[in-house]
Structure 1
Amino acid sequence: MKRFLLALQVLIALIVGAIVGFSSKTVGLDVQVLGAAFIRLIEMAIVPLIFPLIVLGVAQMRSVRRLGRIAGKTILYFEVVTTVILIVAVILANVTGVGRATSLPGQPAQLSGIAQGIDFETFLLDIIPKNIFSALANGNLLPIVFFSIFLGLALATLGDEAKPVTDFLESMSKAMFKVIEYIVKFTPIGVFGYIAYDIAKYGWASLGALAEFIAVAYVGFALIVFVILPITAMIFRVKYWSLLRAVWDLVFLAFITRSSEVVLAPLTERLEQYGADNSIVSFVLPTGYSFNLDGATLYEAVAVIFLSHVYGIHFSIGHQFAIIGILMVLTKGLAGVPSAAIVVLLATAKSIGLPAEGIALLMGIDFVIDMARTATNVIGNSLASIVIAKSENVFRVKTPSPLAASNDI
């Protein structure tokens, strides 16, 4: 219900912002401060949120290692599938040229380094922080991620001795979840401010770009559901369409509510009814909610390329692979974060120099994207559970009864 109310508020803010922008150019330009303040709030929370999450994600891998072969297969499967999706998303965004028909001036001083391309030697050296506290203070995301991985590995080897540190980081991450929850409540205000500003400054161009982005994103989600996942299922000899029929109602529920958490419990039961062993589903499905966000992965990649086109920034192939690498890290472990897609997108944009104003544009239509994004995540994790179960020879074909299916929702 809260998600629906927020989406309704954002929709109203989008409409009112457009009306204000068309009606009064002066007022539209003046209310940009509301959008800018909202972006500042998110930027304020990015580093203290991402730092503990990455450290804990790596540190807790020691418990995953005890699961041995199953954990290894699961993580490898997630990484391969999400990487393929990232590459497909980048290709899709480049082939369609999404955003190229629209030109919104960015911030030249911020973008000049990107426009000139990448010096990979400098790029790689800059990832290693000379001073982690300086990187934290300046919000230099890649050095922070690099240090976080090393710190997580160190904590993993210390075992119980690291518990005071991990307890602190867990408390910090929970506190930051709450901070993000507070910030998300201001989303309608931020959307109103930036939509009014963009319409006042650029007219219909920004609305046309948003419609184009929605269309390309939905094409991408369709490619995942009807091409990438069926091919994956065929490789592992899983009856994909049979599986989809078994869980379609839960996928639809996730689509309507925009929440994969809502269907976690009934989906676990449904996959067990379908034939997967409980021990596999209980591990793979929750893990997939953090490490196998197929829909979110595609969205982030398409959004970054879209913004680069809108602001007239040319990314070389090398830089696009660098973006894929950033997204491979940042899209992991943020499933429980409110508006995680926007947080990851802003963090990625910040690390490669894209203007934050463009992300505010996408916020206005995020609820439309989020429906398909969430449903795609659910389908991807359902397939992953069956694939791992079959690989472990603990899958037995069953057919869930219609009564059982209707009782799940």
Structure 2
Amino acid sequence: MAHHTPIREASEPRERNVVMRWLGKLYVQVIIGVIIGSTLGFLAPDIAVTLKPLGDVFIRAIKVIVTPIIFLTIVVGIAAIGDMRKVASVGLKALIYFEVASTLALLIGMAVGNLWPVGRGINADPAALDAGAVSTYVTQGEDMTLVDFLINMIPTTFVEPFVTGQILPVLFVAVLFGLGLCKLGEKAKPFIAMLDTAAHGLFGMVNIIMRFAPFAAAGAMAFTIGKYGFSTLLNLGQLVLAVYLVSALFVIFVLGFFMRLAGFNIFKVLAHFKDELIIVFAATSAETMIPRSMQKLENLGVQKETVGLVMPTGFSFNMDGTAIYMTMAVLFLAHATNTELTLAQQLTILFIMLFTSKGAAGVSGGGFIALAATMPAIGVLPVASLALLIGVDRFMAEIRAVTNLASNIIATLVVGAWTGNVDKARANAILNGEKVLDLPHQAAPSSVGAAPAHALDLVPAQ
């Protein structure tokens, strides 16, 4: 039997290597962080709530880089194309897709809310609820009118959007600057190359910060469970379950249908972006993963200007997760307070939400604030009833963030396929697990045509 010993000894290092490789994957580290954080939140809530700064610091560190990355990516992408009509075509098709997807999300959320009357039987008395608990959100929501939304797209100074971190004004400035460089032609090329190098330097910063994602996930989940507890989740568990279930089915079937039309498999796309989706779930902030998602989309073969235009714009115009949450939450509150809503009133709510859901981008707790902006506009449901949602909003913010990120990743691929700005052969090779060489420096040339031939050579998966 002695001859078996060397085989066992040789297999042990191999098994250790497999385990180490598995533990070295970012999504595995984040999942471990979520489990540790959740366990600590349940066993020692007082200690767990003190870990909130871990998540906050990570989010702040990423958000420092979000606006300059968006600005540089859009400017370089547009300037490298040199064709304003092509930029306009991408932008118009993106807006058409956003409105179709968002409207479907609102309609599905409303349909499920009627068929599955979550909240019926609670019999909440609005007069007995704490209206003061939601007064801050209502005040913030009053500033989210359509006119204010449109006016705020245009910053008062060039640097203001970089200071405030608002994505839409950054998009406005970047598109204008990119078009301005387009008109300069050859003169602008050295400057464009410099901006492209600066953008990749910022992506390098993102990769460094991402090393701390597992600690951020642990801290964020510890705080959530420690402060709100599983008991709060169980009390309104049916609503949370409904929002999670509808959001997941929307991504798989509705967005999956769009993915199929574009020539991609929804499950392979979600698997490719699993790191980003898991981190967003824990941190409840979809914006933190915009830079990393943009980088991965470019490497899939989506042209730079398409990524730069569609991804950031989507976080103002394509908030599918927020749309589902808002319609289902409104109907939940109607059922909980025994308020009957006619079909006409529900259609009015849906129309109002087409605009209020757009203003949720870039605001902490944006989905809840957008809901607070909708309630007074409806004039039927008591605003105080929002207090019923405060305890579980953090749990629903997680699925809102994941759905919003997934929907905008998918939107970028769909619009890229629609406009012919994605290398499908490269994208599907990567999604199928084949090893493909990274685009060299992911430089401007990849944004004006097909990637260089040597960047597309496939290496068999090992």
TM range (shorter): 0.5 to 0.7
CA-CA distance at 1:101 after TM superposition: 2.1
Q: Match of 1:68, SS?
A: helix
How many matched pairs? 300
TM-score, normalised via structure 2 length: 0.54
Match of 2:405 in 1: 378
Match of 1:91 in 2: 111
1:355 aligns with 2:382: yes
CA 217–74 in structure 1, closer or farther in 2 if over 3 Å, else same: same
1:9-158 equivalence runs, <5 A: 67-107=87-127, 145=145, 148=148, 152=151
Match of 2:337 in 1: 311
Q: Is the 8 A contact 1:142 1:351 kept in 2?
A: no
CA 404–342 in structure 1, closer or farther in 2 if over 3 Å, else same: farther
Q: State how far apart, in whole Å, the 2-side matches of 1:359 and 1:375 are.
A: 23
CA 367–324 in structure 1, closer or farther in 2 if over 3 Å, else same: same
After superposition, the C-alpha distances for 1:78-118 in whole angstroms (9 at most, x for unaligned) are 0110000100000001100011121112259xxxxxxxxxx
Percent of residue pairs bearing the same amino acid type: 26
1:122-271 equivalence runs, <5 A: 145=145, 148=148, 152=151, 166-167=156-157, 174=164, 210-271=236-297
Q: State how far apart, in whole Å, the 2-side matches of 1:404 and 1:300 are.
A: 41
Q: State how far apart, in whole Å, the 2-side matches of 1:404 and 1:369 are.
A: 37
Q: Which runs of 5+ in 2 are unaligned?
A: 1-33, 47-83, 129-137, 168-222, 438-462
Report the AA paired with residue 344 of structure 2.
G
Q: Where in structure 1 do 4 or more consecutive aligned residues deviate above 6 Å? A: 141-144, 401-405
Q: State how far apart, in whole Å, the 2-side matches of 1:207 and 1:381 are.
A: 28
Pair member with larger Rg? 2
Q: Is the 8 A contact 1:65 1:71 kept in 2?
A: no
After superposition, the C-alpha distances for 1:225-247 in whole angstroms (9 at most, x for unaligned) are 22111122223333322222221
Q: State how far apart, in whole Å, the 2-side matches of 1:306 and 1:239 are.
A: 34
Report the AA paired with residue 297 of structure 2.
L
1:388-407 equivalence runs, <5 A: 388-396=415-423, 397-398=425-426, 399-400=429-430
Q: Which runs of 5+ in 1 are unaligned?
A: 17-63, 109-137, 157-162, 178-187, 196-203
Q: Is the 8 A contact 1:284 1:385 kept in 2?
A: yes
Q: State how far apart, in whole Å, the 2-side matches of 1:356 and 1:208 are.
A: 23
CA 214–225 in structure 1, closer or farther in 2 if over 3 Å, else same: same
1:284 aligns with 2:304: no
CA 328–253 in structure 1, closer or farther in 2 if over 3 Å, else same: same
TM-score, normalised via structure 1 length: 0.61
Q: State how far apart, in whole Å, the 2-side matches of 1:258 and 1:404 are.
A: 32
Q: Is the 8 A contact 2:252 2:266 kept in 1?
A: no
- Aligned-CA RMSD value: 4.6
Q: Is the 8 A contact 1:301 1:324 kept in 2?
A: yes
